[in-house]
């Protein structure tokens, strides 16, 4: 199976074009966050989402914590997918599914230890996919993504095996470590931000090297069966 690739922290239509030309399956559009790189105004998110051609997906990264607020955020920006970056009350995700049944829902799980696996049954009935990241939602200033750090991939691998939903892997991935990450975790897709940027801007060479590494490991894993 081909690894899907989501390029996050897209800041403009120009960056969206670069990501799509490189082979991105999805674009991440970061709204206001308590910390981390890449937030852009909702008007800019709406512009990029409207421009993006199918079948490329657009992910709104929202830090809202209630179904009503998330739904309003989605209606204002019109992405194809909403990525919920905090560990919110699962009942709110259930309500969001009722409010916006046509919008795909991805729940971020911040892997701080094996307890991450305990969140699978709470969220899985209400989302289409999970995304494993390296944030610290309980920190004094919450970290909800874009840290550039890897986490314990052995926990991520267990999460993938246990999850009834597809799982994206995020957190400090680049051309140097993505092959090991894919071999160990076997995620449905990967999510990239800080490690494919230079001075905050999407770096075409870093992106090309990473895409080539992903293609190589996909081919190797297919050949291995």
Give me the CATH number covering residue 69: 3.20.20.70
Q: Which residue has the higher pLDDT, 101 or 149?
A: 101
Asked if 57 contacts 4 with a C-beta cutoff of 8 angstroms, the reply is no
- The per-residue pLDDT for 120 is 98
Question: Looking at residue 149, what is its pLDDT?
Answer: 84
Query: Residue 173 has what pLDDT?
Result: 94
pLDDT-derived band of residue 163, with 50, 70 and 90 as boundaries? very high
User: What is the pLDDT at residue 148?
Assistant: 75
Please tell me the predicted confidence (pLDDT) of residue 135.
74
- Residue 140's pLDDT is what? 76
pLDDT at 145 over 80: no
Structural domain tally of the chain?
1
Cα–Cα nearest to 144, from 97, 179, 193, 100: 193
Its domain, for residue 62, covers 4-223
Residue with tokens 């209606």: 75
Give per-residue pLDDT as tens, 113-140. Answer: 999 999 999 999 999 999 999 778 777 7
Mean pLDDT of 60-77: 97
Q: From CA 146, how far away is CA 192, in angstroms rounded?
A: 9
- For residue 147, pLDDT over 80 is answered with no
Instruction: Supply the pLDDT for residue 167.
Output: 98
The predicted pLDDT at position 66 comes to 98
Q: What percent of the chain is modeled with pLDDT above 70?
A: 99
Residue in 143, 102, 109, 145 with CA at minimum distance from that of residue 124: 109
> Which band of pLDDT confidence, cut at 50, 70 and 90, is reported for residue 192?
very high
Identify the residue with better confidence: 52 or 134.
52
Given a contact cutoff of 8 angstroms between Cβ atoms, the answer to whether 19 and 41 are in contact is: no
Distance CA 82, CA 105 (A): 5
* pLDDT on residue 202: 95
The CA-based diameter of the chain, rounded to the nearest angstrom, is 47
Going by pLDDT thresholds of 50, 70 and 90, the confidence category of residue 44 is: very high
């Amino acid at each position: 199976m081909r690894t899907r690739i989501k390029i996050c922290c897209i800041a403009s239509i120009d960056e969206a074009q670069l990501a799509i030309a490189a082979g991105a399956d999805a674009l991440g559009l970061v709204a206001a966050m308590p910390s981390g790189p890449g937030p852009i105004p909702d008007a800019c998110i709406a512009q990029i989402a409207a421009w993006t051609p199918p079948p490329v997906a657009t992910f709104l990264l929202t830090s809202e914590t209630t179904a009503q607020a998330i739904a309003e955020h989605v209606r204002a920006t019109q992405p194809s997918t909403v990525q919920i970056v905090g560990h919110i009350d699962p009942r709110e995700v259930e309500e969001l599914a009722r409010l916006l049944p046509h919008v795909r829902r991805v729940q971020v799980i911040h892997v701080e230890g094996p307890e991450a696996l305990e969140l699978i049954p709470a969220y899985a009935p209400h989302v289409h996919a999970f995304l494993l990241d390296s944030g610290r939602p309980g920190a004094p200033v919450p970290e909800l993504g874009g840290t550039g750090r890897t986490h314990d991939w052995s926990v991520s691998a267990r999460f993938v095996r246990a999850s009834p939903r597809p799982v994206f892997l995020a957190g400090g991935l680049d051309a140097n470590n993505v092959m090991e990450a894919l071999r160990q975790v076997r995620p449905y897709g990967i999510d990239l931000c800080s490690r494919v940027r230079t001075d905050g801007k999407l770096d075409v060479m870093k992106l090309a090297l990473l895409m080539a590494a992903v293609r190589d490991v996909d081919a190797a894993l297919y050949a291995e069966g």
